[in-house]
Amino acid sequence: MLAEIRGLNEECGVFGVWGHQDASQITYYGLHSLQHRGQEGTGMVVTDGKKLKGMKGEGLVAEIFTADAMKELEGKAAIGHVRYATAGGGGYENVQPLLFNSQSGSLALCHNGNLVNATALKHQLEGQGSIFQTSSDTEVLAHLIKRAGFSILKDGVKNALSMIKGAYAFLIMTETELMVALDPNGMRPLSLGKIGDAYAVASETCAFDVVGAEYIRDILPGELLIIDDNGFRSEMFAMASNIAMCTMEYVYFSRPDSNINGINVHTARKNLGKQLAFEVPIEGDVVTGVPDSSISVAIGYAEASGIPYEMGLIKNRYVGRTFIQPSQSLREQGVKMKLSPVRGVVEGKRVIMVDDSIVRGTTSKRIVTMLKEAGATEVHVLISSPPIKNPCFYGIDTSSKEELIAGNHSVEEIREIIGADTLTFLSTEGMVKAIGRKDGQCLACFTGEYPTEIYPSTVHPYEKV
């Protein structure tokens, strides 16, 4: 749905390439393909084998990396990042990759996820003399690496990774190597690809398609991958445990042309729609999905139910970030500018409106109202996930139960609030079955069962990245 408006934001995406003469250009296109994962800031660091050079800014990839800017970023390797800002986490200094210089060499790193023990580690490090330049928990890892004092960087990285908890996909680059790490629970997607003799790493496989890379495999939970001019080698810094890939990657965040652990996202969403049709047979005239992530679900529901799919809602793709405003009144106005009902499709019809989730309810209420104003006689809302009742501490911008409508209201109360004729959520069991993962997945926002320990300070983290 409309993440910028409704507040369900995945925090970022990462991309890296090693061993290519056009590393910065490839990274540019890789980041552009991951733009849906973060639209508030972007950055890139390149190496020519002797030194690191970085550029970053608040804005979209195309706004920051202009033709003139790209001329300054030449090298054989690069890492890049796109991000959303969260409470207390905006500002230029928090845009990644973060670049650190020292007498022993430079270090750049970027991160997708959130460290649940970052606040505790930061207090500990400050007590030992560390001075932090950002409010990003990504910086915690840099301090842990340097303060350990290992002569071999790999050992320092593995030691630091053993101390952090939570969801993370890290890219760490020096002048001579690129290190890639995924948390032991495997909570974030991260894949390895190859472009000729060069290697690429990305949060989503759709980035490989854009840059012409061949997918090799997913990074394993607890794995540290080290890439340099001699190729790559793999080491485990931790044993994989309690595998828990974020379910919302399949439901909402990832692009439909991406594959996560061998499962195509579009196919998974179609299966969610088919499962909805099995669980919730509704009499209607047309099925429509809320652009963009719910279109695949709506198609699946239409195929399984026999009710025709129609484009009942159109997304205006030319509305800029100017309209992403924090207040509720402006947020509702933003919905009107982002979405428009197609009167010729919905007028006089019983509309089955399919969406991926309901977070606060504001956007859903406005969409239902728009459909009825356009002449829909009934609006039946189907959600391809269970009610989101619990906050996420792993990198999704829902940090408190109070802001979640399902955490404070019953399904019937939510139906009344959004003005739908009926409202049905997919069952947890049905969602898991439809996605079809062989390994585990994180269901914490639905069930309240978190795959890691949640530290007291995690409830009010100083920053998510």
Query: Annotated catalytic, 12?
Result: yes
Catalytic residue (one of 12, 206, 246, 445) = 12
**Residue type (1 letter), 406:** A
**Residue 402 neighbours by CB distance under 10 Å:** 8
Query: CA distances (Å), 394 to each of 12, 248, 445, in order?
Result: 12, 12, 10
Please give the Cα distance from 364 to 357 (Å, whole number): 9
Contact between 173 and 179 under an 8 Å Cβ cutoff? The reply is: yes
Cα distances (angstroms) measured from residue 324 to each of 62, 86, 291: 18, 14, 17
**Rounded Cα gap, residues 51 and 19, in angstroms:** 15
Quick check: 9 and 84 in contact, CB under 8 A?
yes
State how far the Cα of 451 lies from the Cα of 460, in Å rounded to an integer: 18
Q: Strands of 19-71 (E only): list them.
A: 41-47, 52-58
* CA–CA distances in Å: residue 39 to residues 42, 86, 95, 296: 8, 12, 11, 23
Are 124 and 181 spatial neighbours (Cβ–Cβ below 8 Å)?
no
- The number of C-alpha atoms within 13 Å of 242 and in the hemisphere containing its C-beta is 11
Alpha helix (H) residue ranges in 35-185: 61-64, 67-70, 118-127, 138-148, 153-161
Nearest to 158 by CA among 107, 102, 226, 112: 226
For 207: left if phi > 0, alpha if psi spans -120 to 50, otherwise beta; the answer is alpha
Report, as residue numbers or ranges, the catalytic residues: 12
